[in-house]
Structure 1
Amino acid sequence: MKTKIALVTGGSRGLGKNMALRLAEKGNDVIITYKQNKEEADKVVAEIQALGRNAFALQLNAGDVASFDSFLTTVGEHLNEKTGSPKFDFLINNAGTGLYSSFAETTEQDFDDIVNLHYKGVYFLTQKALAYINDGGRIVNISSGLARFSFPGSSAYASAKGAIEVLTRYLAKELGGRGITANVVAPGAIETDFGGGHVRDNADTNKQIASVTALGRAGLPDDIGGVVAFLCSEDARWVNGQRIEVSGGMLI
């Protein structure tokens, strides 16, 4: 059986790293992207290789649409050299950063930065990647629990994630003819360095999250990656156009 290949944006740390490792554990080869920290990305590549899978890392600013054509050309050239085909199977749109700013104080530049990374970038990277994704492939877009419940200070970020959830349903509808599924994974609050370690390092925030979560704690990266890996497995072949919140039951 042919080995499947996953492309995980923002795979050098946090949730993306966990997704990449879980996908590798399921027998997939993995391409990860990083924005700046090549050293951390190389460590993830080494961890994946230690699992017996092939991996490589490429630099990508996931909010810079103008760079996508050359990025995907590089991906295709590398894969063609290694596998004889420029194509891959799974696209995981994970790259992102947080913004904690009240609605009243969010600037136009703040807004543009968030939309370019979390919505426009996902829209056009996915569009441009269609020529590289094998029929029968999978698209997994990462949203947030904040698209369902509201915490002050996340209006721009959460709005962009809401747009991703609508987009994903359209992808599922329009790409179904190629056998490509599209789904959303929406994590709750997770202990990573995301947003400057907002949940991980602030004891009061962590306690507040735990108090409104049915399972009584904030989430960990290990809670998320396996769900993404499942959606890229044969067992999930009939899951399509769905939003799967992975939050331990926050605010239910």
Structure 2
Amino acid sequence: MGSLAGKTALVTGASRGIGRGIARELARQGALVAVHYGENEQAAHVTLELIGQEGGQAFPVRAELGVPGDIETLYSQVENELAQQGQGPELDILVNNAAVSGSARIHEVTPELFDRLFAVNTRSLLFLVQRGLKNLRNGGRIINVSSAATRIAYPESVVYSMTKGALNTFTLALAKELGPRGITVNAVGPGFVETDMNAGKRTTEDAAAELAAWSVFNRVGRPSDIAEVVAFLASDASRWITGQCLDASGGSGL
């Protein structure tokens, strides 16, 4: 029996990368996981297959974020699937991982890029939580995936960094708001991680070495490095931690 046995979790952006790692780890710990994805159905099914092979339970949820009706589309699927499994609509764990990136320095930023990143990374996240509070049990967990770019200046992706800064502020305010319900709200701040989002930054050996050099351990992070921190925050062991952003960047920029 894992530490999350009997729990139900929703992980957004769980088809690849960090989200896939989180979904797998929560399932390994015993949670039933709703694997959300936007467009890549094939990648989502890989996540589901891996979870099944590891003895976990999960189901897919498809909803494009950042478009009209996105939040209700997502939750109606979650609730319908849970009903088919003989369960109520309640959730115990909400992991807000879904995000889009867009490298651009200040002179390269366009209104379209700004609007797209804030629509998905900030606006959808806020309303996803707002709607999810109807489902989240008292004593539940909200975990937001942030970025070390909120701590270390990274002008190469100024808008992306801004969206994650907003997420950290949201985490702080929400933790105080939901304290009376026993719900903890925390964020995790990865550095560079081996994901599709960062694949373009590792096109040469020199580029890969440069990314690795950010960490005091001289390597790029793995999704499992982040997933295990998230699993801790989802467990009862983290019950006295709320309103925090846990740096999970391998000491990047120290």
**TM-score band (shorter)?**
over 0.9
TM-superposed CA distance for 1:200, in Å, is 4.0
1:237 Cα shift?
A: 1.2
Structure 1 residue identity aligned to 2:29: K
Q: Are residue 103 (structure 1) and residue 106 (structure 2) matched?
A: yes
Q: 2:142 — aligned with what?
A: 139
CA distance in 2, matches of 1:28, 1:108: 40
For residues 58 and 73 of structure 1, the distance between their equivalents in structure 2, rounded to whole angstroms, comes to 9
- Say if 2:229 is the partner of 1:237: no
Letter in 2 for 1:210: A
2:249 alignment partner AA: S
3-state SS of paired residue (1:227)? helix
1:208 aligns to what?
A: 210
Tell me the number of residue pairs that the alignment of Structure 1 and Structure 2 aligns: 251
User: In the alignment, which residue of structure 2 is the partner of 1:223?
Assistant: 225
| Structure 2 letter corresponding to 1:230 | F
Q: CA deviation at 1:236?
A: 1.0
Contact 1:80–1:86 (Cα < 8 Å) also in 2: yes
**Amino acid in structure 2 at the alignment position of 1:23:** L
Percentage identity across paired residues of the two chains? 37
Q: Which runs of 5+ in 1 are unaligned?
A: none
CA distance in 1, matches of 2:51, 2:180: 33
Task: Indicate how the Cα distance of structure 1 residues 56 and 144 shifts in structure 2: closer, same or farther if over 3 A, else same.
Answer: same
Letter in 2 for 1:43: V
Match of 2:21 among 9, 14, 18: 18
1:194 aligned onto 2:197: yes
**Corresponding residue number in structure 2 for 1:62:** 65
Work out the CA distance in 1 between the residues paired with 2:204 and 2:234.
33
1:114 matched to which residue of 2? 117
Report the counterpart of residue 71 of structure 1 in structure 2.
74
Q: Deviations over 1:155-214 (max 9, x none)?
A: 10001100000000111100111111100001001111115x134444333212222321
User: How high is the TM-score relative to the length of structure 1?
Assistant: 0.95
Name the Cα RMSD after superposition. 1.5
Distance apart, 1:64 and its partner CA: 2.5
Q: Write out per-residue CA displacement over residues 19-42 of structure 1, whole angstroms, 9 at most, x where no aligned residue.
A: 001111111110011111112211
Q: Tell me: CA distance 1:173–1:10, structure 2 relative to 1, closer, same or farther (3 Å).
A: same
TM-score, reference length from structure 2: 0.94
Task: Determine which of 184, 187, 195 is the counterpart of 2:187.
Answer: 184
Q: Assess if the C-alpha contact under 8 Å between 2:8 and 2:93 holds in 1.
A: yes
